[in-house]
Amino acid sequence: MENNIPNRAAICQTLMEHAQTDPDIFVLCSDSRGSAGLAPFAEAFPQQFVELGIAEQDLVSVAAGLASCGKKVFAASPACFLSTRSYEQAKIDVAYSDTNVTLIGISGGVSYGALGMSHHSAQDIAAMAALPNMRVYLPSDRHQTKQLIEALLQDRKPAYVRVGRNPVADLYSAENTPFVLDQAVWLRGKGEKTHVALIACGETVQPACAAADLLAAEGIRASVLDMYCVKPLDRAAVLAAAQNAQAVVTVEEHSPFGGLGALVAQTVSAHCPRKVINRALPDAPVITGTSAEVFRYYGLDAAGIVQAAKEAIGCRTS
């Protein structure tokens, strides 16, 4: 894979690699093969690709039908529509029926930038995590995305994978991508006593690592957990991080309700009480702009996470 590519491109490349020898892999799109980065798959494997048009409810139901016939189905659509327009179908046809469908929410969070609230998906983690049997994943780079898709090809359970639209820098490498399905990855401070634990998912993991480095320069020790598996949450890792820290900061490109921050706070408050601060999008219409501009405005960038970490441990901030 080339460097610095969107995670959606990594999904396509991984599925194409495995579809060469596995005719049961099927990819479905809702007039979104271009934005999903799946056009190369459609061209290379037309017999394993289904275009549903702008019909998200049909997309999910047809995906479930194919899965019930033994196919390994990946259904992609913009996260803002997949998690709302087809929620009933995701609930009944996929989650309740426990079918082997991976729903891929593309351009998640604020990826669509200037298109505004109609195209932002700040509720999808909470919505999908609330469905029994539905797992929720937000991979942080192309290498982790590849590992995740390969793991999902090996099981037969429902999943929702949310990826952004923009290229992301590598956190891992092809030779070193620590990955066990449903286990968070320690990027900083494993087993160490720290001042603050930073727990992030998806495209907020990069700025969390940058924030940890900035904090270290000021003598503030921070651990970093890449919680790509929002559901099932790796509670053991959360508690290990919290027990070794004075406070916890969660970071997510999502509403403050029902997402990573809420799940971490529930776990920490029940088993290892610590102050938990959640850096998230606001409970209000989000401003328009590029992902970087939105992150900076709401403190989801490295500087904002540093500020939240200092607040959490009682340091003065300028």
Domain regions of the chain by residue span:
7-162, 185-312
Compare 3 and 77 and report the one with higher pLDDT: 77
What's the average model confidence in pLDDT over 282-293? 90
Residues 6+ away with beta carbon under 8 Å from 78 = 32, 35, 105, 106, 107, 112, 119, 121
Region 154-170 average pLDDT: 94
Q: What is the average pLDDT across 173-200?
A: 95
Question: For the chain, what is the mean pLDDT?
Answer: 94
- Work out the pLDDT band at 3, boundaries 50, 70, 90: low
Confidence of residue 37 (pLDDT cuts 50, 70, 90): confident
Query: Does residue 114 have a pLDDT over 90?
Result: no
Report, as an integer, the average pLDDT of 75-81: 95
Q: What is the pLDDT of residue 1?
A: 42
Strands (E), the chain: 25-29, 49-51, 72-78, 101-106, 135-137, 159-162, 185-188, 196-200, 222-226, 229-231, 247-251, 275-279
pLDDT of residue 4: 76
Mean pLDDT on 123-138? 97
**Residue 193: per-residue pLDDT:** 96
Average pLDDT over residues 89-107: 97
pLDDT-based confidence at residue 35 (cuts at 50, 70, 90) = confident
* Rounded average pLDDT over 173-193: 94
pLDDT at 118: 84
**Percent with pLDDT over 70 in the chain:** 98
Looking at the domain 7-162, which fold is it?
A: Rossmann fold (3.40.50)
| pLDDT reading at 305 higher than 80 | yes
What does 4-66 look like in DSSP terms, one character per residue? S--HHHHHHHHHHHHHTT-TTEEEEESS-TTTTT-HHHHHH-GGGEEE--S-HHHHHHHHHHH
Count of other CB atoms within 10 angstroms of residue 273: 9
Q: Is the pLDDT of residue 165 over 50?
A: yes
Query: Measured between alpha carbons, how far is residue 195 from residues 207, 287, 299 in Å?
Result: 18, 32, 20
Closest CA to 143 of 115, 112, 178: 178
161 pLDDT exceeds 90?
yes
- Tokens in use for 209? 């690592």
pTM value? 0.95
pLDDT digit string, tens, across residues 222-265: 999 999 999 999 999 999 999 999 999 999 999 999 999 999 99
pLDDT at 85: 95
- CATH of region 185-312: 3.40.50.920
Report in angstroms the alpha-carbon separations of 199 from 46, 104, 187, 223, 293: 40, 23, 10, 8, 22
The pLDDT assigned to 316 comes to 54
Write down the pLDDT at residue 317: 44
Distance CA 65, CA 257 (A): 32
- Kindly indicate the confidence band of residue 278, based on its pLDDT and cuts at 50, 70 and 90: very high
Confirm whether 7-162 and 185-312 share one CATH topology. Answer: yes
Q: Find how far residue 86's CA is from the centre of its chain.
A: 19
Using pLDDT thresholds of 50, 70 and 90, give the confidence band for residue 34: confident
* pLDDT score for 277: 97
